[in-house]
Amino acid sequence: MDKLAGMAMFVRVVDEGSFAAAAETSQVSATMVAKHIRTIEQRLGARLLHRTTRRHQLTEVGKLYYERCKTVLAEVELAEAAASELQSAPRGRLRLVAPVSFGTQTLVPALVEYLHQNLDVSVDLALDNNPYDLIGEGYELGIQIGALTNTGLVARPLKPYRRILAASPDYLARCGRPESPEDLANHMCLGHSYWRLQGLWHLVGPEGETREIAIKGRFTTNQGGALRVAALHGAGIVLQPELLLAADLDAGRLEAVLPLWSYKPTPMHLVYAPDRRPTAMLRSVIDFLVARFG
């Protein structure tokens, strides 16, 4: 007899409490039920049930086999459900959370592209630089920059978050171009008030060498997009994510400063709850974002 069918029948006998009840539920004869159990016991060489006139009791071997059978049958059900899910099209509403600058400048265009490709999916994006409780706040996905804080989540590594130096051609024409990290001390540097060490820039060079530069400036804000705008208007040198400044650098609105130096790259991950049966929508979004930013 088929092993899985036998396991399923054994579990049903235990759950229902008797051969007769299991037979009725399965719509087979009690004789067929008994045959399944007898076949398993012969194969294992051990008794699984103590037969009584009123109810069957599990032996020690039966208890262990019962628990293993439930696990195996659950895995089979999950496998079949996953195979079926693979054939379905992504659909539904996705809730995700990301840091403000990365989300606004980089993630939003990618998500719009994904939506064009998957017309039955909608996106609810929250932008927040503060720590968040992914599961508790009901998000399916999150973009996390920096050290991972929740080891209970699945974390897919993305390209490290790299911050570079840039300034407008107007500022560089007026104030000159730094030739070394130490020269930054003589320039107007745009500060990010969200950073813990606002007055220090920790830079990494082409050979991995590091410099800690004390900066000064007359403009500080807590939002990377505002620092970018200030740099575009000639307020000073900005240290911001390469992704945020890429379009301005390509268009010549900004120019790279000390291009061989950058802020120490910061790890970035796509995080989500461990789920043994992800939906087609969630799986497709994860694959899309990893392909785009991984």
**80 pLDDT band (50/70/90 cuts)?**
confident
Give the tokens for residue 36.
């399944």
pLDDT at 100 over 90: no
CATH 3.40.50.300 fits 3-87, yes or no: no
Nearest alpha carbon to residue 102 among 244, 249, 277, 267 = 244
Average pLDDT, the chain: 88
Q: Could you tell me which residue, 178 or 82, shows the higher pLDDT?
A: 178
Rounded CA gap, 52 and 207, in Å? 79
Question: From the CB of residue 43, how many other CB atoms can be counted at a distance below 10 Å?
Answer: 11
Q: Which CATH number fits domain 90-293: 2.40.128.20, 3.40.190.290, 3.30.70.20, 3.30.450.20?
A: 3.40.190.290
pLDDT at 54: 62
Q: How far is CA 164 from CA 23, 31, 184, in A?
A: 71, 76, 13
Rounded CA gap, 162 and 184, in Å? 19
pLDDT at 195: 57
pLDDT at 113: 96
Question: From the CB of residue 112, how many other CB atoms can be counted at a distance below 10 Å?
Answer: 10
pLDDT at 198: 61
Claim: this prediction has a pTM higher than 0.85 = no
Per-residue buried b or exposed e for 247-278, using 16+ beta carbons within 10 Å of the residue's own CB: ebeeeeebbebbeebbbeeeebbbbbbeeeeb
Percent of the chain exceeding pLDDT 90 equals 41
All CATH 3.40.190.290 domain ranges in the chain, comma separated: 90-293
All CATH 1.10.10.10 domain ranges in the chain, comma separated: 3-87
pLDDT at 86: 58
Task: Give the three-class secondary structure for 156.
Answer: strand
pLDDT at 286 over 90: yes
Contacts of 36 (CB under 8 A, 6+ apart): 1, 5, 6, 9, 10
Average pLDDT over residues 242-269: 92
Q: Please state which of the ranges 97-101, 120-124, 191-195, 237-241 shows the lowest mean pLDDT.
A: 191-195
